[in-house]
Structure 1
């Protein structure tokens, strides 16, 4: 997925219904976006995948209070792949687009390299003045070769591990976050602890939600994943990717997974049911866990540093299509939403780790009572500083989906890993043409 990523995948997202193209078109249509004839008010439409946390954190309401002539209407699609497919259809047709569209970090290279003519260059509204407010890599990723600024960064996805202290205690495992970080300082250590958990785990509880999430968090630790720095597709020869694959396969074959499809209703329900004891946890996952586990989960979760070093999984952008009805007003909104003050507030309430450098400084001392008062500012701040600057490719998200699909075959069907890998190769070839 938003947070991030995600970007964040927070509470309201859980009840979101994947919207049809027709409904999305209606939400971006002239009847919604046009100024009100009586009051001169403008309705800005915002179309996202999942929830970026803006409604939950009260940011839309705050913006509307500051701008009485603006009403914000958000729609969202729970699954990012469905969202992206629908967005491509509407971009091709030129209609049904919202004033603001969310872009996942795995898609931003597609926007800058293949679709720059379909998104507004935000320099027209003075965006170049904001460059110094963002992490250099975050800003550069949304800048096209011609210098066009095609999106403003929301969150990034520094990684950690979230775990259920109550389930750990019942299985006789340590619960202290610092001790655990030492115990699973490597992924081999993490799997070994998982095998100990499996022996005494409460009925119906696995070590991890899915091997797809394990793969995703591991590949997020790498600078080069699917493409190399020259832009060449190298996923099938990348030794780091193969290590992540092999580790995920071992977890599946060792019976450590709850075998849940991420973002599925069953996966959502599992947070409250205690169906897994650990979950790879980029910062945006915090809000998602709170939304799914609910009040009953408060104090049962904690966060520890990630095995194998820091990484990044997710993060998003806000962009304005050229076909948007209210481009200037849309820019003003996204500039405000991504400003340091709002990013800091979003992290403190939803867990989306900021991409604005000023906000990172503001949240350094943040703790989260829901996660056993974990020092989330320090944990994710240190991870963000140490995370590699990743090479982004046009089809990152497509390749990743085929790999996680293949891992799902190993996990749920017992497919031979070699056959599943071959299926991933075929899937990538078919997807990329």
Structure 2
């Protein structure tokens, strides 16, 4: 899921289809790389029976408990009918969702409420770039889910996905939702108008490298339809490129290395080159203008982690069906995003909240979310279920294969306490380059000052 994107080899034939590379993150020196598989449907059935019989605490006079769920971006639970199904399975439960489109705004609000101890939902989402902050800096603000039996679910997730939400002393502070294996989404109708090929295999060959991607972008711009650019923003280009790297802003010891990391420099230089060549629509991601641009055809390509599929459908609408397709990402596989569901210590209905997030992150529900919304599963059992999935909205693209292959090859990413904050400062600086004409050197200097402020 939005902002945000491998370890080991699965041990069973079914799980070998369960690509786990994209689920992999590691924090600090605590790196674990063993993949694991689901224990079986019988376990889930038992949990569901237990959940159905659980008592409601602190509910309305009629015994109904209203669970509040606070999210960012598009998790797709409501759209996929999962809330309605859960309420049907649990007659004493009602679910009320709130969401914030921009994850940065969401995180700032969450920090304010955590500091004050009030206004928190029963379930709070945590973006993968923030999970190290939760486990290392805020573990006492969230419930240890092992109190409710979460330790029994460990085998349902790739070890790296599980361990990222686990503290050094063994507390589990969140259950994994999706991950963000990366591809490239593109508008076939705009490509045709510019005289470019539309076949996903041919495009994958043409833009096998990022240099090839920029070169194809220059060809597009030469014959592009009016008011259409090659890509949405250079910030998204930087983010997708840095998602292909194991070490980005921190090393495995927890040291901040973004200034000296050549991978960061390469991604920065490529993004600023795209800005200089006029290949970007100069749109801030998650802004109203960016949302409108999906339907308006303001850009022909967008770096596309799996969770972006649902977002594109929501913004482009029914009129976009069949106009989009998906091809392999330039430069190799990567991961962008992925999230967790957590229960704050100050939540009103902790037990019921845990039962809900356990159900939402179970393989059956994760598989349905991918098929309906494009959110790629973090559950190994779910990944095996969606290997053959195709999406008619995206011209029948074999999304199970494309994102599955990407997840297999994606690196295990090292995350630090301020990982998301560092990323935000750099992409904000890139926005200055493309929208204000700030020189790359000046913008980089501004990014460094921003990083210093947020990291202390």
The answer to whether 1:114 aligns with 2:160 is no
The answer to whether 1:191 aligns with 2:217 is no
3-state SS of paired residue (1:45)? strand
Deviations 1:325-366, CA, capped at 9 Å, x for gaps: 111110000000000000000000000000000000000000
State how 1:128-207 maps to structure 2 within 5 Å: 128-207=151-230
Task: From the superposition, tell whether residues 349 and 278 of structure 1 become closer, same or farther in structure 2 (CA, over 3 Å).
Answer: same
TM-score computed with the length of structure 2 as normaliser = 0.88
Aligned match of 2:348 = 325
Aligned match of 1:30 = none
Deviations 1:270-323, CA, capped at 9 Å, x for gaps: 000000000000000000000111111000000000001000000000000111
Displacement of 1:147 after TM fit? 0.6
Deviations 1:156-179, CA, capped at 9 Å, x for gaps: 000000000000011000000000
Displacement of 1:137 after TM fit? 1.1
State which of 232, 236, 254 in structure 2 corresponds to 1:213.
236
Q: Which runs of 5+ in 2 are unaligned?
A: 6-21, 23-56
State which of 13, 16, 36 in structure 1 corresponds to 2:60.
36
State which of 127, 130, 135 in structure 1 corresponds to 2:150.
127
Aligned match of 2:426 = 403
Displacement of 1:415 after TM fit? 1.2
Q: Distance in 2 between matches of 1:386 and 1:360?
A: 14
Q: Distance in 2 between matches of 1:118 and 1:60?
A: 26
Given that 1:49 and 1:78 are in contact with CA atoms closer than 8 Å, whether structure 2 keeps it comes out as yes
Q: Number of matched residues?
A: 406
Q: Which runs of 5+ in 1 are unaligned?
A: 8-32
Aligned match of 1:242 = 265
Given that 1:224 and 1:391 are in contact with CA atoms closer than 8 Å, whether structure 2 keeps it comes out as yes
Q: Distance in 2 between matches of 1:295 and 1:72?
A: 28
TM-score computed with the length of structure 1 as normaliser = 0.92
Displacement of 1:5 after TM fit? 4.1
Q: Distance in 1 between matches of 2:91 and 2:453?
A: 50
Displacement of 1:190 after TM fit? 0.2
Q: Distance in 1 between matches of 2:371 and 2:104?
A: 28
Displacement of 1:4 after TM fit? 6.6
State how 1:345-364 maps to structure 2 within 5 Å: 345-364=368-387
State which of 268, 273, 276 in structure 2 corresponds to 1:253.
276
Q: Distance in 1 between matches of 2:111 and 2:441?
A: 33
Aligned match of 2:13 = none
Displacement of 1:51 after TM fit? 2.5
Given that 1:4 and 1:157 are in contact with CA atoms closer than 8 Å, whether structure 2 keeps it comes out as no
RMSD value over aligned CA atoms? 1.2
Displacement of 1:203 after TM fit? 0.6
Deviations 1:16-43, CA, capped at 9 Å, x for gaps: xxxxxxxxxxxxxxxxx94111x21111
Given that 2:3 and 2:73 are in contact with CA atoms closer than 8 Å, whether structure 1 keeps it comes out as no
Aligned match of 1:70 = 93
Displacement of 1:74 after TM fit? 0.5
Aligned match of 1:265 = 288
Q: Distance in 2 between matches of 1:78 and 1:272?
A: 18
